[in-house]
Amino acid sequence: MLPSSTVENYLKAIYLGEGYLAEGQRLMPMGQLAAALGVAPGTATTMVKALAESGLVEYEPYNGVRLSAAGEKLAALVLRRHRLIELFLVRVMGLGWDEVHDEAEQLEHHVSDRLIERIDEMLGRPEVDPHGDPIPGADGRVARHESDTLLTCPLGERVTVTRVTDQEAPFLRFIEQHHLMPGESIEVEARDEVSDSVRLKGRGNQRMTIGMRAASKVRVSASDASSRG
Amino acid sequence: MLPSSTVENYLKAIYLGEGYLAEGQRLMPMGQLAAALGVAPGTATTMVKALAESGLVEYEPYNGVRLSAAGEKLAALVLRRHRLIELFLVRVMGLGWDEVHDEAEQLEHHVSDRLIERIDEMLGRPEVDPHGDPIPGADGRVARHESDTLLTCPLGERVTVTRVTDQEAPFLRFIEQHHLMPGESIEVEARDEVSDSVRLKGRGNQRMTIGMRAASKVRVSASDASSRG
DNA sequence: GACCAAATTTTGAATGTCCAAAATTAAAGC
DNA sequence: GCTTTAATTTTGGACATTCAAAATTTGGTC
């Protein structure tokens, strides 16, 4: 029995919600899951119990839920479809990177393996989507390499934007307008806890100041010296 | 409230099932509808009553069902999406015309207006899909021009294939292999009721004989003299 | 005009997904 | 250790979609 859209969405939400606790015992609280999916808490409980029945998750009542190996693979494949579709919509269909998320959210559940393979081939087996998010392989494996954000990277060093971890259209448009998209080279000049802000030197040494919440959503890596002229 | 995939499929089935009775009072029998959708008869009855409630169809108990104006428009738009997607998959994605129907069957319910508009634009606002089926406009209007089939066209005259009205992959592959795809020029040499067969002269005057059922699924129009030399 | 077969509708029930509100449990403070 | 609060689960119910099987209607036939 192939998983419904709903099941795929639950698995994806758990998969994506796993960036918040130490290794090993990482369990997603039910409340967080319900909130992520926009359903009532009771609904999530019912659904998660069903998912546990079919072996896709491990459920610890009152504690939370975690993906099983099978569930994790399935979730990765959903994400693979999502991200390939996003990249396809931007590169081939010419849509804006701020408008492809919702479309992909729908299509990810209804595109055949055959078509996804065609898309992957047509795009040259890409490794990241337009937001810099890694695209899992057809086997469900992902190359996760840890990286800093604008909140954690060293001050006064040139870094390259690798990833923008917020899919909201207004935020993405802000990023685009300020030349903070993946690939751009920038530098963090200063951070100030009190004013909750981060000062940046961007393209053409243009200065800008953004809030810490926003800064935490921009991932960067040290600009590789070998990549410059 | 936007229509579910199920509702769209019911409307589409009624729309497509309307090629069998005289004008005006054309009603689709419930049994035929149920068969087209692959559901039990009782299921179709229940659903059609609900559709009648929401004004998408007119339902005459024990007689059958017909689309309302609203229902017809909606059905046409579903078909528009379906056919644009099919053409897109063939022309842009390079899939075979025998493998795009099922894919489109899924995607037609989940593609946004925005993306459909992009596809339409990218394909140059096409009028027919890969099978020669007309693509309704964004307003739901279709240019229906009547045409013959290989069963009804004049004998011994050159005609051009315009449309193949069976989406089954094996049939489409047969058509492709025998050069009977839309655009090909052919001639019906003879028909024989007793042997239930039709003899054709195809590309390069290649002879072939096909059954009457198959012949009825290939639509043709008189080859326009102005389109030669 | 009664009867039969075929088509159709009704009935009763199942599944998947959801909610609101009540009941329960866990955690934290005193 | 009791109590309050927050999180979670349970309960009872809704809605859309489906089925199988029983009941009904319709359209002929004799």
Average pLDDT in chain A: 90
Among residues A144, A159, A176, the one where a domain terminates is: A144
In a mutational test of the B interface, the residue from A95, A111, A115 whose CB has the highest number of chain B CBs within 10 Å is A115
- pLDDT above 60: residue B229: no
- pLDDT above 70: residue B185: yes
Q: How far is the CA of B10 from the C1' of D24 (A)?
A: 25
Q: pLDDT category, A183, cuts 50, 70, 90? A: confident
What pLDDT was estimated at residue B227? 46
Q: How far is the CA of B43 from the C1' of D20 (A)?
A: 11
What pLDDT was estimated at residue B93? 95
Mean per-residue pLDDT, B206-218: 90
CB contact at 8 A, A208 and A194: no
From CA B121, how far away is CA A87, in angstroms rounded?
19
Which domain, by its residues, includes A25? 5-67
- pLDDT above 90: residue A93: yes
Q: pLDDT category, B204, cuts 50, 70, 90? A: confident
In a mutational test of the A interface, the residue from B112, B117, B121 whose CB has the highest number of chain A CBs within 10 Å is B112
Judge if A153 and A215 occupy the same domain.
yes
- pLDDT above 80: residue B111: yes
Do the domain assignments include residue B200?
yes
Q: CB A26: neighbour CB atoms within 10 A?
A: 14
DSSP three-state, residue B158: strand
We report the CATH number of the domain holding residue B35 as 1.10.10.10
Do the domain assignments include residue B173?
yes
Element (H, E) at A190: strand A185-192
Asked if B89 and A115 come within 8 Å (Cβ–Cβ), the reply is yes
Among chain B residues, the shortest Cα distance to A112 is held by: B103
- pLDDT above 80: residue A36: yes
More confident residue, A195 or A65: A65
| Residues of chain B found within 8 Å of residue A89, distances taken between Cβ atoms | 115
- pLDDT above 90: residue B202: no
Judge if A24 and A91 occupy the same domain.
no
What pLDDT was estimated at residue B25? 65
DSSP three-state, residue A151: coil
| Residues of chain B found within 8 Å of residue A115, distances taken between Cβ atoms | 89, 93, 95, 103
From CA B82, how far away is CA B8, in angstroms rounded?
11
Do the domain assignments include residue B43?
yes
pLDDT in tens, A211-220: 999 999 899 9
What pLDDT was estimated at residue A72? 94
Nearest nucleotide, CA B41 to C1': C8
Q: pLDDT category, A129, cuts 50, 70, 90? A: very high
Judge if A84 and A41 occupy the same domain.
no
- pLDDT above 80: residue A223: no
Closest protein residue to C19 (Cα–C1'): A40
Nearest nucleotide, CA B34 to C1': C8
CB contact at 8 A, B75 and B10: no
CB contact at 8 A, A52 and A61: no
| Residues of chain B found within 8 Å of residue A103, distances taken between Cβ atoms | 111-112, 114-115
More confident residue, B4 or B24: B4
What pLDDT was estimated at residue A224? 63
Task: Supply angle C-alpha B215, B83, B115, rounded to 5.
Answer: 170
Q: How far is B109 from chain A (nearest CA, A)?
A: 9
Judge if A191 and A221 occupy the same domain.
yes
Judge if A153 and A138 occupy the same domain.
no
Q: How far is the CA of A59 from the C1' of D6 (A)?
A: 20
Do the domain assignments include residue B206?
yes
Closest protein residue to C8 (Cα–C1'): B62
DSSP alpha helix (H) spans, chain B = 5-16, 30-37, 41-53, 69-91, 100-107, 113-122, 169-177, 212-215
Strands laid side by side in the A148-149 sheet? A148-149, A218-222, A158-164, A185-192, A197-201, A207-211
What pLDDT was estimated at residue B225? 53
Mean per-residue pLDDT, B42-51: 97
Do the domain assignments include residue B28?
yes
Total domains in the fold of chain B: 2
Judge if A160 and A218 occupy the same domain.
yes
Total CB pairs under 8 A between chain A and B: 45
**CB distance under 7 Å to strand D: residues:** A 29-32, 41-42, 44-46, 48-49, 61-62, 64; B 4, 6-7, 37-43, 46-47, 50, 62
In a mutational test of the B interface, the residue from A112, A113, A119, A123 whose CB has the highest number of chain B CBs within 10 Å is A112
We report the CATH number of the domain holding residue A202 as 2.30.30.90
Judge if A48 and A119 occupy the same domain.
no
Query: Is the CB of A211 within 7 Å of strand C?
Result: no
The B-side interface with A (CB below 8 A) comprises 89, 92-95, 99, 102-103, 106-107, 109-112, 114-115, 118-119, 122
- pLDDT above 60: residue B188: yes
Name the residue among B160, B16, B167 with its Cα closest to residue B97.
Answer: B167
Q: How far is the CA of B50 from the C1' of C4 (A)?
A: 32
Q: pLDDT category, A227, cuts 50, 70, 90? A: very low
From CA B10, how far away is CA B7, in angstroms rounded?
5
Query: Is the CB of B55 within 7 Å of strand C?
Result: no
- pLDDT above 50: residue B23: yes
What pLDDT was estimated at residue A13? 97
